[in-house]
Amino acid sequence: MPSRIHQSESRESRARPGEPKGLPSNGKGGSGGGSGTFDLLGFTHHWKRSYRSRAWVIQRKTATSRLNRAIRKVSEWCRENRHLKVAEQFKALASKLRGHYQYFGLTGNRRALSQFFDAVRRE
């Protein structure tokens, strides 16, 4: 059985050149196609270069399944509550948007927030 040092060396040697080490991979491989990403607490964590220093940093974006689930739930809520007055609907939807923004509103997650807002506006 190989030693722990040997195991970590072999794991690090599998990383692509120039890619940071230490973030688990989901096994999809390829260039940016999921390699080095994982989902946790509704976010997909992935490596990305920072804009200023160009250093590797871990970025987070809303997991696709969570975004789709949130859109589906708001859509269902709108269908079930069409009988309410417009002011009440507006107040409830504003509260739902605010809660979503407070949880998922992170640096680098603007695209997913915009998708959620557009979906709510369509409903």
Q: What would the 3-class secondary structure string for the chain be?
A: CCCHHHHHHHHHHCCCCCCCCCCCCCCCCCCCCCCCCEEECCEEEEEEECCCCCCEEEEEEECHHHHHHHHHHHHHHHHHCCCCCHHHHHHHHHHHHHHHHHHHCCCCCHHHHHHHHHHHHHC
pLDDT at 86 over 90: yes
Average pLDDT over residues 60-75: 93
pLDDT at 67 over 50: yes
Average pLDDT over residues 107-121: 92
At residue 85 the predicted structure's pLDDT band, cuts being 50, 70 and 90, is very high
- Taken as a whole, the chain contains a residue count of 123
Position 34 scores a pLDDT of 47
pTM of the predicted structure, to 2 decimals: 0.67
pLDDT at 16 over 70: no
